[in-house]
Structure 1
Amino acid sequence: MKVRTKVTLIIGLVILCMLLLLYLVNKEILLGGFAQLEELLMRQNVERALKALHVEIDNLERMNHDWASYEYTSTLTGNSGEKYFEPGLIDETLQTLGIDFMAFVDDSGQIIMGRGYNRTNSKATPLSGEMRRHILAGGILERQTDKECKSGILVLSEGPVLIASCPVFHVDNQGDARGYIIMGRFLEQRVIGQLSRVTNLPIDIYSFNSKRIQDDVADKLQYASSEETCYVKPLNDHTITGYVMIRDIYGEPGVILQAEAARMVYMQGQTAMVYILSIFLIAGFTFGVAVLIILEKMLLSRLAYLSGSVSAIGASGDFSSRIVMGGNDECKTLADDINGMLAALEQSQKDLQDSEERFRLLAENARDIVFRLRLVPEFAFDYISPALYSLAGYAPEEFYAHPGEIYKLIHPQEHYILDNLVSGKPLEFDLKKPLTMRWLHRDGRLIWVEQSTVPIYDEHNNLVAIEGIARDVTVRKELEEQLKYCSWHDSLTGLYNRAYFDMEMRRLESGRESLGLIICDVDGLKLINDTLGHDTGDRLLQLTAKILKGSLRQGDIVARVGGDEFAVLLTNSDKRVVKDICRRIHKAINNHNAVDPDLPLSLSVGFAVNDKNTGLRDIYKEADDNMYREKLNNKQSARNAIVRTMMKALEARDHINEGHIDRLRDLVVDMAEHIGLPEDDVEKLCLLARFHDIGKVGVPDGILFKPGPLTGEEVAQMQRHCEIGHRIALSVPDLEPIAELILKHHEWWNGGGYPRGLKGEEIPLACRILAIADAYDAMTSDRPYRRTFSREEALAELNSCAGIQFDPNLVTAFIELISKVN
């Protein structure tokens, strides 16, 4: 380092230290005092805003008290029925009073009349159900003396509301209260804007449970020693904010009142400090310049010549050059010594060039990146092999000219490594061990690199450079991440799998926090798989996973632990929290079933909570038992819902909605009566007529609606609908009596039918009757793929198939029946 530079640095360092000391003193004394004054002013502003809000509440209470004192109000509360209120309580009254709802309650706590007012459309609305529940629960009316009104804030789902409740007495103000009158005004932007104008402050009021409140603010306010303790927090250098929590009418945390103000005092203090520091800096700079001028004339000019000559030789690389300097002082001696070293360097340069040529050929032909990073005296690259371009898309010359560009190559989350190297502080990692890190290709792609380095130290054991090799390991890293993900996740739903869930159970077993466990089982999944196919069952499992994830909190663990079973681990959760999450799950299921009834979802849910003395395995068994108990209760209703959905799907896909079922039922009933079947068989025939083709829900639309002839494989899939319908009927008690009939309703008299190839009277009588009626209705009804047969043509076709497809005796009886009816 040059003497001039050293002197300059010493002077600059002294000035900088003095400047820093002056800055710290000013910051602690000057800005500290301004900050305290600023906080005091902010607390006063919040108190003004809080007083303005209390004035609003008091005004509402006084207005309520005035109404409660009217003779007309006392008379009304003694009557029941809303008709008594129509003359006195009209829409214009609510608008004039500036309130959003009003309710009259009798002395027994029952609501005589309640009405709201929608300011958007200027119309009256019914009192909300949530408000009615608060009134009927008694919380708003309790803790009132006979002569005292009660007012405060109530947090509803629609938002915070100012509320006042006053007792209503007889005209002479004697005796017990005849009832109560309740008025409410929502804390909407209109009201908050009025408070802002009154206090001349930007004010905001929102629910204590709002996501807008920061965690540190919520903790400070919730555990404050006083109910209306103000918490002041600077947002930045320009704005300071004050918060105060206001409890609701039940004494629970209700809303947060937030006020903001400009940090004028603080900014004035900063400006003053800048002026002081600037004056000191100018004076120090003047002193430093004077010292440098004197030193330059006495010593630095000769040293500068000597240094310039050495630099010129170094820049040219010609070590055969020599320095010429007159005089007989230390500078002359130094010049002679340098000339001696130049002679030695001239020989060393030749040897070094030979060695570097061999190294260059090796490095430039390698596929891995070879580099040398210099840290002292400044951050720079001495060498980067050309492989950098093929690996990352950057040319080495870019980093030679601008070493800082290396930050573009390194992933932002890995910048701490470079920062640690550049800072000169003790390293937080071992350079002698391979380091895996992320790079960014010029085109934005992520590259994983394994870097092996060798640290270079000087004689004082200071790290001065790093030499290393960087290798692309992106493919290996991606395979590792994929294997890791697959080892802990279910491939179908993307949730954690049983292995991860068991690991978390073992980890949490030794913990002391309160844990909740929810076990869910998909109802009717086997029936869905057997009838609608495993693709539909998989979609149901994926839907279940989506609903569960959407119903849980961040940090909760949900896993698929079996084919149709899911488990949820809830940390720091008591019984109330777990019940609330179960309700959210059921609500999400109901919402889905309302929006998408074609694929209904039913979950059996059981839960348990540990009491810090119960093992997690016991809790798991308890939750599983509770789930199984609910599954037993819901089993049949879930199956019935699935069957109903299947029928609706069949009606939408097939021709049932065209009256086919009704006509078919009439035909089989008439036929049964014509041949004298008992009443029980007639009822089975009616049920069979409705559900005989329910198995078609498992047949793809492309086959069911194909206009042309089916291929052999498509015919086989179509014929499976008998077996699918048979399995569906067996799962529903109401359809179980006709399960065998559904299976056999496509058998032929000569044994050429399916699925079992039965013939003659081996085929149940009901199936033989249904086959004839179904064929007749199909021929005499409009179908998109053929013309409609006349009655005579249809009967002739049935007669020609008698003994082949149909029972000949039943065909004769059916023809007689049709002829008789017509």
Structure 2
Amino acid sequence: MEVFLNLRWTILGVILLTFVGLVLILSISLQSILVPHFRDEENRSAVLNVQRVLGLLENERVTLTDAVHTWSSRDESYDYIRTGSSDYIQRNLSDSVLLGLNIDLMAFISLEGGIVHAQIAGGQADSEIDFPAGLREQIKPGDALLRTSDDREPRSGLIATNRGPLLVVSAPLLKSSGEGPTGGTLIIGRYLDAHQLNRISTIVRLPLTILPYSQANLPPEFADAKLAITAENPIAAVSTSETQMAGYALLNDFYGSPAYILQVEQGRTLYRNSQLVLLYLTTAIVMGALLFSVMTFLALDRLVLARIRKLGKEVTQIGAGGDLSARVTVDRRDELTLVSNQINGMLANLQALSNRLVEIQEAERRKIALELHDEIGQLLTGLKLQLDTSTENGAAQKKARDLADDLIQKVRNLSLDLRPTMLDDLGLLPALLWHFDRFTSLTGVKVNFSQNGLADSRFSPEIETTTYRVIQEALTNVARHSGAGDASVRALHRDGVLSIQVEDRGGGFVAETEFTNNRTRGLRGMRERVALVGGSITIDSVPGWGTSILVELPAMAQPVEGSGNDHSVTGG
């Protein structure tokens, strides 16, 4: 049993190690596959959000460009820059016009770089009032912000001002027909202030932040993004926390240099979903692997280990009981079935060998008994006759006669003990009756015998020999161990079964203990003999209450000539 338990624990340990290894491998695989995938999707989402915001900023630029076309390619505007008539301003420019166009600034610049007129939304129409310093610094001859006499197309970009980024469009002032030469430059601008950013943020439903590129003490995430943005990677995605991340892009100024860093924040929904997916998958893997491990162990235990335990138990029982006619259970068709069949084949060979040994033993006993009776018995009888016919009557002669008589009796008893000839000649019932009388005369134990179905019947030699030897051994045990003064023997033959019961009211014993004791060779021999002919034996014994032995043998009666009737006999 300990071997089987160790085997169970070994298999369980292997399954547990396999389970842990499988879970680890699958978890690592999921981490190495799903996490990068979700991270890439998260970064792709951040990039797309930045691109959406950049698209809206581009729409802002296109809108301003359309607006500047309306004012720059117009005869009235062209005449105004050349003449400086104030009527044009009074008729066309007012604060409400700028607000309606969503323009924060409009300025007319001469070819020489002078501010002819500047209009600030919400402010006064004066070239010196509220004009952004960052923009004013760029208005000078030769600056790319101003259009030359040969320019025909507008340009746009960001200008850094003290109020934040200003999106400006610079267009040449031309006639309505689009012909020149260029009369000067018309600049219109729109601040990307908090109001504009909130409007764009409302559209994309994401928070926006713009900080100057050259600002000192940038927040860490802006500083990381500043380093991450390259020409090959113009948009960077940076995780700001476990729940937030942001996409970053550089906003170049009118001259193509980095001016601002755009931040578009978003929740890490994909990240949280990925963690949930990993949790669910890991849980499913663990539960599935655990279920698989449990089912595998139960299947192994049921299909292999339980059958091995059963096989070991049956082999142990056969070895302890000595019943070589018993067979181990054969079920299914697999390797264990082959082992069971081999064990059964071995038991069959052992049974056949035991049968052969019993036959040889009985034949040898019969031969020795005949030799003792026919050879040694006749020699001793002749010696006795010579001593009886001798004329000498001295003490030595008398002692020799007594020794001869004693020797003749001992040889006769030894011959009968080895094999009573009447068992072969007359059958089972006469041999038993003779044995009971002889047993009582030798031991003083009275035998109460009753039978039914044995008179005028013969059985096969194996059955008769087994029955005689079992009763002989049982009565010998009564005389040696029980201490009882009498014993009961009952024999019954019915429906092809010969039942023998031997009882006494002696000291008794513990059957289980006795069978594990090497000294109980008599009981083991009885079991082996009964098993060899396909019978069964039941031994019940209680210390202080006596012993009962019941033997049932398959026996077909063969009638013989005679008129004897069934009867009961009391031996002694």
TM range (shorter): 0.3 to 0.5
Q: TM-score, normalised by structure 1?
A: 0.31
Larger Rg belongs to: 2
Larger RCO (CA under 8 A, 6+ residues apart): 2
Q: TM-score, normalised by structure 2?
A: 0.44
